[in-house]
């Protein structure tokens, strides 16, 4: 399209265009606790990137003798946590832009979430300081690394594969673009993004060798996803009727004891 010669008309046309850096989701109001601006998004991305770099360097170096807390386990946890939150925003921006906002980082995810991660760090550091021998079982951490990476890959794949059908919040109104996705990773799990997060979170606690938080995470996440899946599937039955009933009979959630 050619630009008009009139300068004022060019300004009016540009004002009416949606800016490429706008992150204003359709039918989804941001919480408002974090400014929904490109500056906020870029600042958060920079902070998460810096934390990821620090954690990765610590992990790859195998930890340091001094200071006492600089372990490869803590490095992996920091890298995995920052990568998860950056990835939530990046995948939403790339494959589901109509739902993208600063809330897509999932940093405004409720106090319980941050208390849980803070508790994981406290348990790890206190145990490491007073009883470091309890953190010296490499096979447990290696299992945790494999579980966390697998969970992250599963969740990211689910978000990409579902594309615009994915939402961080439960949809109670069917849009024309809504489709029932049953192939790809969805042929293995009805809720692969939930299963992915479940195993990612438990994997991080195995890496840290946190028995208390591992049990706490497992119980809390199981209860949360059990309730959320029930609510979400009531809406999906309304949207897709017998097609969803047949899909549910055929494919499980892959979260233990949630059929």
pTM to 2 decimal places: 0.90
Domain 23-250 top-level CATH class: mainly alpha
Q: Judge contact between 93 and 109, C-beta under 8 A.
A: no
Peptide bond into 67 cis (omega under 30): yes
User: Nearest to residue 190, comparing CAs of 142, 141, 153, 225?
Assistant: 225
Residues 187, 189: Cα–Cα separation, whole Å: 6
C-alpha triplet 189, 235, 90: angle, nearest 5°:
55
Domain positions in the chain: 23-250
User: Nearest to residue 229, comparing CAs of 206, 204, 197, 200?
Assistant: 197
Residues 6+ positions from 68 with CB-CB distance below 8 Å = 128, 129, 132
Give me the DSSP letters along 19-34: PTT----TT----SSS
Each residue's pLDDT, cut to its tens digit, for the chain (259 residues) gives 454 556 666 556 555 555 555 667 766 778 889 999 899 999 999 999 999 999 999 999 987 767 999 999 999 999 999 999 999 999 999 999 888 999 999 999 889 999 999 999 999 999 999 999 999 999 999 999 999 999 999 999 999 999 988 888 877 677 776 889 999 999 999 999 999 999 999 999 999 999 999 999 999 999 999 999 999 999 999 999 999 999 999 999 999 999 9
C-alpha 106: how far from its chain's center? 7
């Amino acid at each position: 399209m050619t630009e008009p010669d009139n300068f004022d008309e060019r300004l009016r046309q540009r004002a009416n265009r949606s800016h490429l850096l706008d992150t204003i989701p359709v039918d989804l109001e941001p919480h408002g606790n974090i400014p929904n601006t490109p500056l906020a998004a870029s600042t958060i991305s920079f902070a998460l990137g810096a934390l990821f770099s620090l954690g990765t360097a610590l992990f790859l170096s195998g930890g340091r003798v001094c200071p006492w807390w600089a372990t490869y386990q803590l490095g992996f946890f920091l890298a995995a946590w920052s990568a998860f939150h950056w990835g939530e925003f990046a995948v939403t921006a790339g494959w589901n832009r109509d739902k993208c906002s600063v809330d897509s980082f999932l940093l405004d995810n409720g106090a319980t979430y941050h208390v849980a991660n803070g508790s994981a760090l406290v348990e790890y550091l206190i145990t490491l300081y007073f009883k470091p021998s309890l953190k010296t079982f490499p096979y447990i951490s290696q299992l945790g690394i494999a579980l966390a990476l697998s969970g992250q890959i599963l969740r990211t794949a689910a978000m990409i594969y579902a594309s615009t059908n994915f939402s961080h919040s439960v949809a109670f109104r069917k849009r024309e673009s809504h489709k029932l996705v049953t192939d790809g990773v969805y042929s293995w799990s009805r809720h692969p993004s939930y299963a992915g997060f479940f195993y990612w979170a438990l994997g991080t606690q195995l890496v840290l060798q946190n028995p208390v938080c591992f049990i706490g995470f497992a119980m809390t996440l199981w209860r949360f996803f059990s309730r959320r899946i029930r609510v979400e599937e009531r809406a999906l039955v309304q949207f897709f009727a017998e097609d969803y009933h047949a899909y549910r009979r055929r494919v499980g959630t892959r979260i233990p004891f949630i059929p």
